[in-house]
Structure 1
Amino acid sequence: MEIPNKDNPYPIEGNKKICFLKNIVANPMISVGDYTYYDDEHDACNFEKNVLYHYEIIGDVLIIGKFCMIASGVKFIMNGASHRMEGVSTYPFNLFGSDWAAATPTLDQLPYKGNTVIGNDVWIGRNVTVMAGVKIGDGAIVAANSTVTKDVKPYAIIGGNPAKLIRYRFSSEVIQKLLIIKWWDWDIETVTQNLELITNKVGDTNIDILSNVRAK
């Protein structure tokens, strides 16, 4: 059985625009699952440049699951971009030192929306912006040029600025079955053996067979 090497940064020979992302990311505050790939028209090493306002002192983490597809220009805006809104002004006077430094807020005074979490088998289109603290569910699709400001349910298709639900990929019954199957958590040999079922159009037959595979 010949399977792509998840530890190979550039799995397509001669192509450094597509990478298995976990092998490129160095920041310990970014976690990426196996086989998730990033496609950058210039250089796949650009990914971390698109994770913005990500400061260690704040401590938020970007978590990306397995088998995700991330297109060129996708940006993640982390919690460090947020300004306090309770005051008369939102201007961050403290950043510029001198007598302004006394206005420095404590960390618990800063807006904080939690970690940004991308599920498994998520497709994020070109030039999407994902805002801080957003959770995108397994199997979701985000249309190109969207701005994601709210959590996205599993297997939803969303688009726009701000992104809104377009439709769900499958019926609620099928979605529930897929979330139980969790094919992305199988060992890679089992995934490979069942690729025809995983990639074919969803129907009762292949969903039932996949459910039995999961039950083993």
Structure 2
Amino acid sequence: MTVIPDPSQRFPLPHAHRTVFLKPHVTAPNIEVGDYTYADDPDDATAFEARNVLYAFGPEKLIIGKFCAIAAGTRFIMAGANHATSGVSTFPFTIFGGTWAEETMDIITSIPSKGDTVVGNDVWFGYNTLIMPGVTIGDGAIIATGAVVTADVPPYTIVGGNPATVVKQRYPDADVARLLRAAWWDWPVELVTENVRAIMGGTRPRSSASPCTTGCWRTDQRRNRFRGVSIDHFWHAVQSGTHRHPERCR
């Protein structure tokens, strides 16, 4: 019998409440999280919005994709943390109200926004990482332990350090492009489950998937289903260069 985790489950590991699927716990309108993305925190993983998303005072959003792994100590600094730097002092007089607020409100509201913080799918955040406002982190990226991310991270790239710099790209450019087109995180969860061994380990699935007669994945957007799929054929296509864009597979 096939058993698939329920993404709406608050605690996917019954005996380990330090790990939660985030989506069921998120209530703030400026935070969006995809299915199966989880956070780990030995103190209180359910308090992600309060403990891990800081200074979310403005309209900017935190958008996190599917199947991301967020280690304990990861923090997302939002644009509300910014101070005005146009004058001789960076002290935030405005927040203390009264005449200070009346005299300086226009200064605080004129601080340029860095925009939304956007995290792709299948991103791994190491322990104690810090994500600064307005960055975009691409699909398949790895953020090393203790990294301070101040700039965009390309897909399938490992970054580390303070400020974070590129350690290496996980795959050649052509393979990254094919992986992004395949977008396994958008497959029906039944298909992900059927091929989970290959997705995680790069090895042939234990179950016998039907071969793809066209040598590629094909998706029918109108019916929202996949046809003729076999992930080991996909990995072969990545290496051989025969994989084609799903929308062009007919």
Calculate the TM-score normalised by the size of structure 2: 0.79
1:207 counterpart = 2:235 = yes
- The alpha carbon displacement at 1:46 in A equals 2.5
For 1:53 and 1:208, how far apart are their aligned partners in 2?
A: 46
1:80 counterpart residue number: 80
1:100 counterpart = 2:100 = yes
For 1:68 and 1:90, how far apart are their aligned partners in 2?
A: 35
Amino acid paired to 1:63: I
Amino acid paired to 2:92: P
Structure 2 contact 62–116 (Cα < 8 Å) conserved: yes
Amino acid paired to 2:77: I
Structure 1 contact 19–39 (Cα < 8 Å) conserved: yes
For 2:114 and 2:98, how far apart are their aligned partners in 1?
A: 30
Structure 1 contact 177–207 (Cα < 8 Å) conserved: no
Of 101-110 and 3-12, deviating more is 101-110
Query: Structure 2: which 5+ residue stretches go unaligned?
Result: 204-231
Give CA deviations for 1:145-180 in whole Å, capped at 9, x if unaligned: 110000000000000000000001111111111000
Gap change, CA 1:45 and 1:69, over 3 Å in 2: same
For 1:178 and 1:165, how far apart are their aligned partners in 2?
A: 19
1:159 counterpart residue number: 160
1:120 counterpart = 2:121 = yes
1:36 counterpart residue number: 37
Structure 1 contact 147–160 (Cα < 8 Å) conserved: yes
Q: CA RMSD in A?
A: 2.1
Query: Structure 1: which 5+ residue stretches go unaligned?
Result: none
Question: Does 1 or 2 have the higher relative contact order (CA < 8 Å, sep 6+)?
Answer: 1
For 2:162 and 2:182, how far apart are their aligned partners in 1?
A: 32
For 1:96 and 1:138, how far apart are their aligned partners in 2?
A: 40
Calculate the TM-score normalised by the size of structure 1: 0.91
- The alpha carbon displacement at 1:109 in A equals 0.6
- Highest CA radius of gyration, 1 or 2? 2
- The alpha carbon displacement at 1:143 in A equals 0.3
1:4 counterpart residue number: 5
2:56 counterpart residue number: 54
